[in-house]
Chain A
Amino acid sequence: MTKRTDGRGIHDLRPIKIVAGVIPRADGSAYIEWGQNKVYAAVYGPKECLPRHIANPYKAVITYNYRMATFSVPDRKNPKPGRREIEISKVSGEALERAIFVEKFPNTEIEVNVEVIDSNAGTRVAALAAAAVALADAGIPMRDLVSAVGVGKANGQLIVDLNKEEEDADDAVDIPIAILPNSEEILLLQMDGLLKKEEWEQLVELGINAAKNVYEIQKQALKNKYCAKEE
């Protein structure tokens, strides 16, 4: 078993730090550093759903805006939201919807805005992890936090939390996965690359375990904000 380019073991996450409550104007917010990735997440709502025709009489509408800052990637990104950002926003919002008791807030909108300010592979899962903490910080009733991680394959090894160099390997397979940690329900799952089913069976276990480690860090971030005042 060879070490990875950044010295990690194959099942190791990069260092993760989460802080809850970093955008004072927002109803809830969080900041995450995940390796080199840095993402802010802010939640507004439940609020009036505008434009009105997108409102749902049965549940709150979740609007998730995943955006990357122009300076967050090696070459300047066009500030206009790209197809990648739009797709990620769609599947991430759908993932969060399962966690939130949306049926308690019909005809409203819960807006989740995430901004990636530095990136090195795995930003969509970092953003989701931050968004879940921001939703909890906003006091929105949820079944559980949403915890997320990337798993996959690079240089012939099945690994957890691919960095950019690994994601660019010839045989790279990248699988972002988000779960409800307690029920292990899979809320977000994407994959690109060439993978055998047996490899997937191993990776899903690695992903669920790693996401549960992220879960502990998310909970700690909330405790740090809300339990720290005890003497």
Chain B
Amino acid sequence: MQEMIWSLIKDKTLAELKQGIREDGRKFDQYRDVKIDYEFTKNADGSASVRLGNTFVLAGVKLQPGEPYPDQPDQGTISVGAELLAMASPSFETGPPKEDAIELSRVVDRGIRESDAIDFKSLCIREKELVWITFLDLYIMNDDGNLFDAAAIAALAALKNTKFPKLGDDDKVVSGERTSKRLELNRLPMLNTFTKISDILLADASLKETKAADARFSVCTTEDGYLSAFQKGGSGYFTKAEVSKCIDLAYINSDKLRKLL
């Protein structure tokens, strides 16, 4: 039933886009206003909330000591989770993360991990025995489109704001105590998601635009000109020229977004 309603709205959205009009008057490559607030919870080692228009995402970081992977004995690691909370949209349900939430968390994870933003060796406490594991969890509180970019900004903001907890002599975290040492970020990888409706490419799609999408393409860029992740989703296609255009726009928009952190 919902599919039918969105399908009807799509025709109108597309007709307006063909005349160059977005519902909120933005240019096709323009983001909505971004508002970042740090440290909404004192219990997390780092946290940030992000509002991208009416899309609202919370990110919280907990650093926990744990065993390293056998093949990377001197490196800590990151684990990203995402919850599409039932409060965020009538389309979301309670229960364990489904494919949409899993894809979201894995794309955010990929952009950060592959850009070497975090020096995982600096998370080593004792080689082969103990490393810091960075648990980064994303909570989608209100879905007004483009959850990927909102979540990725929140993730970076929370990481940037993270301080190491105090480690006791028993190798456990001393509850509630934190050191002044910050988690260092070598790069700020920015995720840019483009939504394709017919042959139109939009940055930062609203909910209506997201629902009208034929396909989506996310590209993560770093400030020194690298690409660290791609993800194409949706049942439509991209041409290689469109991918190229998305990459060029992503470099430009990423620089703007990075200044907000």
Contacts and interface: CB of A to CB of B under 8 A. Distances in A.
Contacts of A71: none
A193 B237 contact: no
B236 A194 contact: no
B20 interface: no
B194 to A, nearest CB: 12
Nearest to A91: B233
Nearest to A194: B226
Contacts of A14: none
B227 A196 contact: yes
Given A83-B106, A192-B114, A194-B116, A94 B233 contact: yes
Contacts of B7: 58
A98 B237 contact: yes
Interface stretch (A131-139, A180-188, A209-217, A218-226): A180-188
A169 interface: no
A193 B235 contact: no
B236 A91 contact: no
B182 interface: no
Contacts of B248: 197
A195 B227 CA distance: 5
Interface string A61-99: 000000000000000000000011011011100100110
Residue among A188, A190, A195, A196 with most chain B CB within 10 A: A190
Contacts of B228: 192-195
A86 B233 contact: no
B106 A204 contact: no
B82 to A, nearest CB: 10
Interface in B220-261: 222, 225-240, 243-244, 247-248, 251
Interface residues of B, number: 37
Contact of B231 (A91, A200, A201, A208): A91
A22 interface: no
Nearest to A192: B114
B99 A193 contact: no
Interface in B99-137: 99-100, 102-103, 105-106, 110, 113-116
A189 B235 contact: no
B3 interface: yes
Contact of B217 (A180, A189, A196, A204): A189
Contact of A83 (B4, B100, B102, B217): B102
A102 B225 CA distance: 40
A89 B106 CA distance: 13
Contact of A186 (B103, B243, B251): B243
Contacts of A175: 230
B149 to A, nearest CB: 17
A186 B99 contact: no
A186 B234 contact: no
Residue among B106, B231, B232 with most chain A CB within 10 A: B232
A197 B230 CA distance: 12
Given A57-B4, A190-B232, A204-B243, A185 B102 contact: no
Contact of A185 (B226, B233, B237): B237
B110 A192 contact: yes
A56 B1 CA distance: 9
B62 to A, nearest CB: 19
B30 to A, nearest CB: 22
A86 B102 contact: yes
A90 B229 CA distance: 17
26 contacts: A56-B3, A57-B4, A86-B99, A87-B102, A87-B106, A90-B100, A90-B233, A94-B235, A102-B235, A185-B237, A185-B238, A186-B239, A186-B243, A187-B237, A189-B217, A189-B231, A190-B229, A190-B231, A190-B232, A194-B222, A194-B227, A196-B226, A197-B244, A197-B247, A200-B243, A208-B240
Interface of B: 3-4, 7, 99-100, 102-103, 105-106, 110, 113-116, 217, 222, 225-240, 243-244, 247-248, 251
